[in-house]
Structure 1
Amino acid sequence: MTETRRPWRVRPQPTSHLGLLQEEGLQLRPTISTMILRLLLALNFFPSIQVAENKILVKQSPMLVVYNNAVNLSCKYTFNLFSKEFRASLYKGADSAVEVCVVNGNYSHQLQFRSKTGFHCDGKLGNETVTFYLWNLFVNQTDIYFCKIEVMYPPPYIDNEKSNGTIIHVKENHHCPAHRTPESSKPFWALVVVVGVLALYSLLVTVALFTYWMKSKRNRVLQSDYLNMTPRRLGPTRRHYHPYAPSRDFAAYRS
């Protein structure tokens, strides 16, 4: 038997997709590992966005110079506090250890600013701005002040990142009197009105008494002059008959 040998066939090499894509200038499709990596990065990015949305950004002036012992400190915030229970406060010191002024509430009630640390403060809450008004400041109260905005209700609790703060530099001024707020001047003006009414009443009573006294004195003087003009009889007087006048016989008239 003769063996028949088959001729060797050269199998064609499969063309690599990588070579074709590189030759055509196309990019490779993302592999599974690349997709997983991108997914992990996205998952790590979303919490950072959520944290940023749960923080309030506050901007303050870098420095304020006080010449008349009073200052207005405005804090601009990027958050809608409408229909929310919030708290706005002002702190003193680099570590915010002293609470200078605070107000809490909502837009449906009248807001009242107060201080528990001896500061004279008031304020006003506007659209994305809260203004703290401080007066009767002293030189030793020169420091850095920080604004803080907090949303208390509804949940979640939200506050602001610590801002750069505002340096309040109080200049010494001996000739400028302490500023009076409208609230503190109300008792003063009430006292002025009461004293004025009492003074006017006393003046009217004094004028009336003086007028009455003058009239009484004038009447006494007139009565005294009238009494002095009345003739006084010193004794009995005799009637002198003229010699040429005939005497009358009264008996003839009787008959």
Structure 2
Amino acid sequence: MSFEVLKRAESVVVAVCDELNEGKAELLECKADKNIYYVFNGTVTLNFHCDFSNAKLEYRVSLIKGVSKKNVVCHGSFNASHQPTQDNNCRIVPAKSNVTFYLTGLVENDTDIYYLHKEHMAPPPYVERFDNGTIVHVKANGLRPPPPPPPPIIQDTEQSRWPMLAAVVVLAVYSFIITIALFYTLQKGRKTRILQSEYINVAPYRQPKHHQPYTPTPRHAQVR
């Protein structure tokens, strides 16, 4: 077999392996339910969504503690039968679309970031992936974090405008009524004062008598 044929065969094998690795890498992607867990009683349940539906593959999952990703808390291997495994204070329960880690006996010093390490062990090629990490914050019993403040209540502008408009209308009507009543009271009091202050003389007018000092006697009176 010539050297060129070997090179071509090698390139074909490498290409096939790359395609398999890319396809399996998509199946290896995992994501936790939460980015942070608060632990108060030393027990926590970490659930990761992954694909374990391929019955021909043997899987291995590990829970790694720390940024260096060197401290293995617990691990387990399984296939499509999804048999749970127990490792010290860690219980692993796999399913077709997720894997769950039950951790017990945690103390405050166990507060750290935890990673899921998923591996395809067999058949080859070997592929591994880490998730983005999940923070586990272990607190002493009774020390719960304060609840988050309630979200602000955002009222609709149209709905909040109607009560204000109604209040303005009521105040305007009330002011108008008060003004009319005050004006009527002032007018009535003014008329009463006018009637009480004016005097009308109803006696008939008589022209005063004038007395002349001397009046000559008429001529017809002298004849008599």
TM-score of the superposed pair, with normalisation by structure 1: 0.44
TM-score of the superposed pair, with normalisation by structure 2: 0.50
